[in-house]
Amino acid sequence: MATTGTAGGAYSFNLTSLGLQIANDMMVRVANGAVQMRAFVTSSNVDLDPASESSVRLVLQQLNAGATLSNFTVQELADITGSINVLATAKQMAAGTSLEHTVTGIQNAVGSNAGLMAFVVAAGEAGQTTQGPGDVGNHISFTQGNQWQLKGTEIKVGIGMTVTSSFTDAEKITGTKLITGVTTKVLSETNPDNSGRAQEEYMVKDAVGITNWGNNDATDVLTLQLVPYPQLRFPLQPGSEFQAFHKQGLDYGQDADGDGKNETAVVTAQVKVVGFENVTVAAGTFSNTIRVESTVNLVVTLSRGGMIPITATQTTWFASGVGPVKQTSVTQWQGQSDTISQELVSYSVDGQGTNVQILSLATRDILYDPFRQVMYASVPASSTSNPSSIAIINPVTGTTISSVPTGTEPGKLALSDDGQFLYVGLDGQGSVARFTASNMTLAQTFSLGTDLGVPLVAGDMQVQPGNPQVAAITRLIPNFSVPSRGVAIYDNGVQRPNTIGGPVDILQFSQSASTLYGFDATTMPSNFLRMSVGSSGVSLIDAFNDLIPSFTKSMVFDAGLLYTPYGLIVNPVTTPPTRTQPFVIPPLDQPRTLLLVRPDSSVGKVFFIATPNVLPLQTRLYSFDQATQQLSGWFDLDAVSGTPNKLIRWGTKGLALTTTGNQVMIIQSPLVSDQKVNARTLNKGVSITARSVT
């Protein structure tokens, strides 16, 4: 009906001068020889690109199948195009070798999306369909067990005052709840908007969008009068907008003017999808997140006369496959404001992000073998399954590959740094077994001797760096109040003559094979030892009291430093050794104790397992930057039975934790590595952008 040229990738038509208006049978087309792109005109700005061409072809397919174009409304055509655009962005669909190749790829993706295809078919029927395309790109998931950990700041600006505070919040889909006959999903929050109290919110997700059905906050009188209301509308297409509610004569729930009467209120909410944006938060970098802005205008009418206008604007960024990754909300009234900013720290959503597998397995020690990518777990004699054995576990799948009998009551484990030998303390017979790790065959068994007529057992065991035949072992008398009987060096199972007889519970070699560090954890004051290892055995260099708190259960050497629980770092080289406490949990929520530690300079992180000092009992994994000692993120561990007692690293982004409740918790998380997660790019090929269609 009309033609025009393009300038700078843009075109323009004046529909008024053409005597036209936007309709369901109006299209624009750009052509270069035999190559063309088309788009339905559904608004004043229309982009011509492979997504719009795919939309036109999809509708034409329905026409060929018997539908008529008059059945498609302008809104339906806009939703079809918008859904395809969101889907192509979420799937990171790159440009093909030609326009046709790109469009074909998009059409294949659309064809495999059952919800979107069902919507297209429904749109081909007469009238505006009540069906929606669904959450194309999966930007909001209500799968039970999904959880998000967030940190935030709140800035309150009053008359002559500003108060800033930090907080954390944990969100989790915990189940369902029946609300007036409707089954809703329960989103449980520990500290929504820094309110200081837990809350449940009830929502329904269907093909049309997200509907809010209220919450369990007895003080939230307004929401009770608004629900149910649409919170989001699918598709989350940039430029789309809708009114969530507009209600008058509501009970404000407060007596603002002090006359004993609650005020009334008029409230309106508008929701707009702004566009795709890249966002970097503590949990990683997320490209092409969907930015949604919600504006609530509340006018409170005072019963004594006068009005109080209140405006609340909330901006949320949704990432495909993750959900909300960032949110800001600003509430303003009478010259005052409350600004809350939150960002995602960690998440577990539909198998993405942080994943935890829990194995029900009694074990006395675990160890990771990086050469064979397996974990070894010593299974005690009391176990009902494969007692007195080493369980070989695939940490990726969480399955036990095999079990190797060891002898009575296997305990402490140690692996040589070349992966050749696995040492296993056999507490039931006062000896150590050495296995060839490649095939788990027994290479040697040697005794640790006796004391007071009682067989000694291995309390801690470290293989000398660069020498797989040599092990340093702390020897214990079981069930004694001070069980340690010092340190001995064993060379191919033969004890070297020089030993240290004082109490030593924990051992760590330095980078040097000749320097050994020890810690006496069971006496007061505690004792930190520096020892020298030579051909005659081990000798004491010096010892220092109270460098590390008594009863500390672990000490790990990494990159020249010793890391202990409670956030302590010891520099063992200086004389005397020095200690610092750089790792501190910010006062964001309930007090916690850093119970277990695992540093790893290969990823530049230090990990702690922390337990709360007060109820509720929620064990948490913390990740700190090793260089800056700043908190990188955290993740709450559910269903922990007993007390955590061992933490190890495995693979590129794995941790494993054992508990006194016979659990092995295998964790895979972006918190472990420095990888940026969920980076998304979109290149849909050639596009022409509308600047104006008026």
Scan for tokens 């982004």, then name that residue. Answer: 653
Three-state secondary structure readout of 374-400: EEEEEECCCCCCCCCEEEEEECCCCEE
Q: Could you tell me the CA-to-CA distances from 653 to 521, 533, 627 in Å, in that order?
A: 31, 34, 18
Tell me, what's the pLDDT at 587?
57
250: its two tokens? 């509501």
Tell me, what's the pLDDT at 366?
98
Alpha helices for 9-49 (secondary structure H): 15-18
Tell me, what's the pLDDT at 95?
72
Beta-strand relationship, 410-415 and 421-426:
antiparallel
| Angle 140-146-147 from CA coordinates, rounded to 5° | 100
Are 203 and 180 in contact, with CB atoms under 8 Å apart?
no
d(CA 262, CA 435): 78
d(CA 537, CA 501): 12
Phi and psi (nearest 5°) for 457? -125, 165
Domains with residue ranges and CATH for the chain: 12-137 (no CATH), 147-349 (2.40.160), 406-551 (2.130.10.10)
197: its two tokens? 């109290």
Tell me, what's the pLDDT at 632?
86
d(CA 494, CA 473): 12
Are 422 and 372 in contact, with CB atoms under 8 Å apart?
no
Long-range contacts (CB closer than 8 Å, 24 or more residues apart) made by 70-75: 70/24, 70/25, 71/123, 71/124, 71/125, 71/126, 71/127, 72/24, 72/123, 72/124, 73/24, 73/123, 73/127, 73/128, 74/22, 74/23, 74/24, 74/42, 75/42, 75/128
Using alpha carbons, select from 155, 284, 207 the residue that is nearest to residue 680. 284
Successive 10-residue mean pLDDT values, the chain, 694 residues: 82 89 92 88 91 94 94 95 93 80 92 94 94 95 94 93 92 96 96 93 97 95 96 95 96 91 96 96 92 97 94 97 97 96 94 91 97 97 94 95 96 97 96 97 96 92 98 92 87 97 92 95 87 97 91 91 92 94 70 84 94 73 92 88 94 95 94 52 36 38
Q: Burial, 557: exposed, middle or buried (Cβ in 10 Å; 0-12, 13-18, 19+)?
A: buried
Q: Burial, 567: exposed, middle or buried (Cβ in 10 Å; 0-12, 13-18, 19+)?
A: buried
Tell me, what's the pLDDT at 616?
60
Within its chain, how far is the Cα of 392 from the centroid? Answer: 28
How many CB atoms lie under 10 A from the CB of residue 305? Answer: 7
Using alpha carbons, select from 306, 308, 289, 290 the residue that is nearest to residue 298. 308
